[in-house]
């Protein structure tokens, strides 16, 4: 599957900040990448509207995996074109730490990472 425009933009932003990153084309791929090596991730950027498994279900399963394996929760930042209190509330109930709507400019991306305490390591330092 081809990367979306949002994925390409977020990849460019992440590279500009010199953060290592992986991309997934759907929520199931994101879940599998994370569960294969959770210590490698300081955050997960997800879109609510993804094929195969949406970002909300992917986040739910990530949180279940963390709980079952007694892991500290990774920061999950949800980016979406959807808006409204219902979808935002559902995202938070699924375990999303920060809910953002598109379009997202570089400064907004940097601020989102800062606001969630995202750093290159899982310790927050």
pLDDT in tens, 94-117: 999 998 888 888 898 888 888 888
Query: What length is written for the chain?
Result: 125
* CA distance to 32, 111, 118, per residue, from 114 (Å): 26, 5, 6
Residue 3 has a pLDDT of 54
Domain coverage including residue 30: 5-115
Residue 15 structure tokens: 């590279």
Distance CA 60, CA 58 (A): 5
pTM: 0.85
- The token duo for 8 is 């390409």
Contact 1, 26 (CB under 8 A): yes
Q: What is the CATH number of the domain that holds 33?
A: 3.40.50.2300
Tokens, residue 74: 């990774």
45 falls within a domain: yes
The answer to whether position 73 is within a domain reads: yes
Q: Looking at per-residue confidence, does 84 or 42 come out higher? A: 42
Is the Cβ–Cβ distance between 108 and 100 less than 8 Å? Answer: yes
Contacting residues for 16 by C-beta, under 8 A, at least 6 apart: 106
Number of structural domains the chain divides into: 1
């Amino acid at each position: 599957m081809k990367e979306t425009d949002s994925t390409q933009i977020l990849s460019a932003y992440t590279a500009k900040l010199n953060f290592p990153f992986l991309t997934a084309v759907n929520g199931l791929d994101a879940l599998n990448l994370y569960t294969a090596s959770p210590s490698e991730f300081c955050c997960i950027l997800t879109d609510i509207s993804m094929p195969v498994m949406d970002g909300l279900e992917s986040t739910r399963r990530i949180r279940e995996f963390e709980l079952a394996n007694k892991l500290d929760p990774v920061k999950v930042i949800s980016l979406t074109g959807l808006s409204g209190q219902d979808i935002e509330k559902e995202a938070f109930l699924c375990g999303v730490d920060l809910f953002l709507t598109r379009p997202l400019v570089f400064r907004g991306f940097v601020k989102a990472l800062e606001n969630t305490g995202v750093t290159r390591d899982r310790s927050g330092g």
